Amino acid sequence: MNDQPIYWQENQVGRQQREALHHHQGAVLWFTGLSGAGKSTLANAVEIQLHKMGVNTFILDGDNIRHGLCSDLDFSDQGRGENIRRIGEVSKLFVDAGTVVLTAFISPFREDRKTVRSLLGAGDFIEVYCDCSINVCEERDVKGLYKRARAGEISDFTGIDSPYEAPLNPELHVDTGTVELALCVDRVIAKLQTSGVIPASSHTIL
């Protein structure tokens, strides 16, 4: 039994009212994949399109979160797990606010992603696997991280000396290594529409 003086406070305005205000449902688009797979690029491109369609959105990006909310965590398996747990809790708050939250995290371990899924209701967690070969990721290497990892300057780097466990049954599997960005965006938007998160009639606001 919790002996701390902490009690759950019910809000007078609930999720349904917030979703009605936004004219769409809240949900998490969880972009996962190797570093350099294009998670942030795709998430940003999808958000731009959703914003044009009048959808209330917010992006939680891995690097940005590490500068603030999770600045105290390392990159050990335990640190990564706690990083994802915190993001899951924050994502749940956004969903309750009736927002479509887009998260771009390597999130290499299936169990951690499963934990986030368990925090949310049915249909609220949409796992988007950004599938890109490590060779292509290394060719891109915009941040020079693979080069540093190969040189031994970075340890526990996913894909080099730390594993990446690809999703077994993601809601959406996109080939970000060879398919052009615009087509990947279209697939994500279509998934949101067929899932009922945003109306099928949603269109770009001119």
Q: In this predicted model, what pLDDT tens digit does every residue of 142-166 receive, in sequence order?
A: 889 999 999 999 988 999 989 999 9
Give the residue from 49, 77, 88, 82 showing the smallest Cα distance to 183: 49
Q: Number of C-alpha atoms within 13 angstroms, CB side, residue 17?
A: 4
pLDDT band, very low/low/confident/very high, at 7 (cuts 50, 70, 90): low
Q: Residue 108: helix, strand or coil by DSSP?
A: coil
**pTM metric for this prediction:** 0.88
3-class DSSP assignment, residue 107: coil
Assign 191 a pLDDT band (cuts: 50, 70, 90).
Answer: very high
pLDDT score at 76: 80
Residue ranges and CATH numbers for the domains of the chain are 22-194 (3.40.50.300)
DSSP code at position 162: B
Q: Please report the pLDDT score of residue 41 as a whole number.
A: 95
Residues designated as active site: 107
pLDDT in tens, 24-59: 999 999 999 999 999 999 999 999 999 999 999 999
pLDDT in tens, 58-105: 999 767 777 776 787 777 888 888 888 888 999 999 999 999 999 999
Q: Which distant-in-sequence residues (6+ apart) come within 8 Å of 122 by Cβ? A: none
Burial 50-60 (b: 16+ CB within 10 A, else e): beebebbbebb
Quote the strand ranges of 19-85, DSSP E: 27-32, 57-61
Q: Determine the pLDDT at residue 8.
A: 66
